[in-house]
A and B are shown apart, each in its own frame.
Chain A
């Protein structure tokens, strides 16, 4: 079966093609930054995780096997492990800090609304188990397929879908009524 574009680039990189690895970097640096940032909510820490992820990817490039998974899932798995190491070493919590670094907008009101809404979403996500939250974020924000998520987390696709389903039901039923109404109102 022909390889995907970035899987092919990874194989070329394994064979010593520096530019191929550069292309992989360009594709994934922002995605991995987002992945890290959504979880640590801190610019510097997220950058450190991205840097560590690429350095580890390079050092272990020989272990990438396109028959076992996509380039994306391989890199996300490294990022996830780096994140876990980061938590262990710094014992950081997952709470959103006040200075959550959302993109600037010209409109201060919109900026504040964005921040508030983000906090609402975060509050909602806090109602989920860690695993459910991870799956939902990987699928909805990081836009990984269930196949790729299964490769990152080492779980079956079916169990991930079931967990995602449970998570969405939980979001529907477990949200505080006031928050839920606020969410619905804000959607209109």
Chain B
């Protein structure tokens, strides 16, 4: 019996096993049907002329109706009013002249993950990676009398008794665990920009003649971004970055009057209403519930993200602070949803999970802003992966940490649980000045006994080692850093500490 007939029958046996008892006759009937399928002839002239007609229509397709679209499947509704309407949610004018155009944008911001394969090494040389001094506090000098808050708010209360007394720590890591299965051929992903959509929509807007300005006069125009605002109490503003393919949500400030209160001072005693005591910090589950509900309410596609995890890094500083009551705990707490690609977690180069960040005002228990919503359309290209385990182990043990020529102290640590994931990296193109986002398969290694090392000043709990061979040499050839002697300008004065956002050592490029 032909395989095809057998397959047709097997499908049916699964649902009707009784059919099998007549297999011979049934198979003959199916075989006879297949043999007698009418052998039609398509008129080639007809097919050619129809194709020509269809493609011509494709090129000139104009559609009559105006169409709304939604990035967020359910909640946001676009209105056609120039003024902001007082609907549940209302937005400025968005006119689309064609169905095709609306779909074009929908597909540019489509949900889920899409990978289109390109040829090998299609993204050119992968830029060398950097060690962590340039982009994280993980290897920064430790402030001896830790009193800095690290919550979501940028304002920090300084302890004036704090004197800058840098501690230069070298970490001596060992790794003896198993490595995940390695491949000599890895697929590097590049996130595609929304540049085509940006041009498409400029073309549509340019058909609109404003009384004071003719948009049609712009040449090679792109719609780079647009914003939509909710005209309601505690409404939101959505910013859509058409070129980068990013969407962010933040408070519509004019509608959030009750928040932004000033520091209240009575009889010389001041209290900051945006500062929480440790007892006021909500449970993690409470925060994730608020965040989950918001994302669901606004229909934000979370199909490629892990569960929400509260960012509790501020607790490092809190635990280290001598005067905990003076420690600034922000009323803004953050829930992070890590991006998953091919079911693997994505990390920033410096070990933090990369994904959507939801900030919550814990006093209002309302989401204030959401960052990191992005399109997930990628090009995939194969690159040579590192399979030399000895080399990888040596690089893992360096843990991407800066090494000081004259460290204040050296701390021993262990790394464990090596798994596979992705590392997000911004790749700068010196020729055109643009940056692209690439996602490189990487080994993710955890810092064992992280709490002990936290107390020693280590910030990151994971080390990310890219597996692209050409990215590794930079990580194994680091020269120790020479520290310039520290001399205060005013020896008898109280010296402000160096802000945490400014590295005390020159980062290596």
As a 0/1 sequence over residues 9 to 45 of chain B, the CB contacts with chain A under 8 angstroms (1 = contact) are: 0011011100100100110111111111111111100
| A172 is an interface residue with CB less than 8 A from chain B | yes
| B495 is an interface residue with CB less than 8 A from chain A | no
| B486 is an interface residue with CB less than 8 A from chain A | no
| B196 is an interface residue with CB less than 8 A from chain A | yes
Contacts of B14 in A (CB 8 A): 161
Verify B196–A168 contact, CB threshold 8 A. no
- B84 to chain A: closest CB distance in Å? 27
For A168, the closest partner residue in chain B by CB is B26
- Given A22-B55, A101-B41, A169-B22, also A2-B114 (CB < 8 A): yes
Kindly identify which residue among A25, A58, A120, A158 contacts B15, using a CB–CB cutoff of 8 Å. A158
Verify B100–A26 contact, CB threshold 8 A. no
Measuring CB to CB, which residues of chain A are less than 8 angstroms from any residue of chain B? 1-3, 8, 11, 13-16, 18, 21-22, 25-26, 29-30, 33-34, 37-38, 43, 47, 50-51, 54-55, 58-62, 67, 100-104, 114, 117-118, 120-121, 124, 136, 139-141, 146, 158, 161-162, 164-165, 168-169, 171-172, 183-184, 186-187
Verify A165–B40 contact, CB threshold 8 A. no
Interface centre among B30, B37, B110 (most CB of A within 10 A): B37
Contacts of B102 in A (CB 8 A): 62
Q: Please, how many angstroms separate the alpha-carbon atoms of A161 and B18 in the complex?
A: 13
Verify B25–A172 contact, CB threshold 8 A. yes
For A32, the closest partner residue in chain B by CB is B42
- Given A58-B58, A121-B33, A183-B29, also A169-B19 (CB < 8 A): yes
Contacts of B28 in A (CB 8 A): 183-184, 187
Q: Please, how many angstroms separate the alpha-carbon atoms of A33 and B196 in the complex?
A: 35
For A15, the closest partner residue in chain B by CB is B104
| B490 is an interface residue with CB less than 8 A from chain A | no
Verify B61–A59 contact, CB threshold 8 A. yes
| B213 is an interface residue with CB less than 8 A from chain A | no
Verify A117–B42 contact, CB threshold 8 A. no
Verify A62–B115 contact, CB threshold 8 A. no
- B308 to chain A: closest CB distance in Å? 24
| B491 is an interface residue with CB less than 8 A from chain A | no
Kindly identify which residue among A2, A62, A124, A164 contacts B100, using a CB–CB cutoff of 8 Å. A62
Contacts of B22 in A (CB 8 A): 169, 172
Contacts of A43 in B (CB 8 A): 43
Verify B114–A18 contact, CB threshold 8 A. no
- Given A165-B15, A172-B25, also A38-B42 (CB < 8 A): no
Verify A8–B104 contact, CB threshold 8 A. no
Q: Please, how many angstroms separate the alpha-carbon atoms of A33 and B40 in the complex?
A: 9
Contacts of A55 in B (CB 8 A): 54, 57
Kindly identify which residue among B30, B59, B107 contacts A11, using a CB–CB cutoff of 8 Å. B107
Verify A102–B51 contact, CB threshold 8 A. no
Verify A29–B47 contact, CB threshold 8 A. yes
Interface of B is mostly: helix
Verify A67–B39 contact, CB threshold 8 A. no
- A175 to chain B: closest CB distance in Å? 9
Contacts of B483 in A (CB 8 A): none
Q: Please, how many angstroms separate the alpha-carbon atoms of A100 and B39 in the complex?
A: 11
Q: Please, how many angstroms separate the alpha-carbon atoms of A15 and B112 in the complex?
A: 17
Contacts of B42 in A (CB 8 A): 29-30, 33
26 A-B residue pairs with Cβ-Cβ distance under 8 Å, sorted by A, are: A13-B58, A21-B58, A22-B51, A25-B51, A29-B42, A29-B47, A30-B42, A34-B38, A51-B50, A54-B50, A58-B61, A59-B99, A101-B41, A102-B38, A103-B39, A114-B36, A117-B32, A118-B36, A158-B15, A161-B16, A162-B15, A162-B16, A165-B12, A168-B29, A169-B19, A169-B26
Contacts of A187 in B (CB 8 A): 28, 31-32
The B75-131 residues at the A interface (CB cut-off 8 A) are 99-100, 102-104, 106-108, 110-116
Verify A58–B54 contact, CB threshold 8 A. yes
Kindly identify which residue among A59, A146, A171 contacts B29, using a CB–CB cutoff of 8 Å. A171
| B504 is an interface residue with CB less than 8 A from chain A | no
| B200 is an interface residue with CB less than 8 A from chain A | yes
- B444 to chain A: closest CB distance in Å? 24
Contacts of A33 in B (CB 8 A): 40, 42, 47
Q: Please, how many angstroms separate the alpha-carbon atoms of A124 and B107 in the complex?
A: 46
Given contacts A8-B116, A162-B16, 12 further A-B contacts (CB under 8 A): A1-B112, A2-B114, A3-B114, A21-B54, A25-B54, A25-B55, A34-B40, A54-B50, A54-B54, A161-B12, A183-B28, A183-B32
| B8 is an interface residue with CB less than 8 A from chain A | yes
Verify A14–B100 contact, CB threshold 8 A. yes
Contacts of B108 in A (CB 8 A): 15
- A111 to chain B: closest CB distance in Å? 11
For A100, the closest partner residue in chain B by CB is B38
Verify A121–B36 contact, CB threshold 8 A. yes
- B469 to chain A: closest CB distance in Å? 25
- A36 to chain B: closest CB distance in Å? 10
Q: Please, how many angstroms separate the alpha-carbon atoms of A55 and B58 in the complex?
A: 9
- B459 to chain A: closest CB distance in Å? 36
Q: Which 6 A-B pairs have the closest CB atoms?
A: A62-B103, A103-B39, A165-B16, A62-B99, A161-B15, A165-B12
Q: Please, how many angstroms separate the alpha-carbon atoms of A54 and B49 in the complex?
A: 13
Kindly identify which residue among A18, A61, A114, A136 contacts B103, using a CB–CB cutoff of 8 Å. A61
Q: Please, how many angstroms separate the alpha-carbon atoms of A112 and B29 in the complex?
A: 20
- Given A140-B33, A165-B16, A172-B26, also A16-B47 (CB < 8 A): no
Contacts of B47 in A (CB 8 A): 29-30, 33
Contacts of B106 in A (CB 8 A): 62
- A22 to chain B: closest CB distance in Å? 6
Q: Please, how many angstroms separate the alpha-carbon atoms of A29 and B41 in the complex?
A: 12
Verify A101–B99 contact, CB threshold 8 A. no
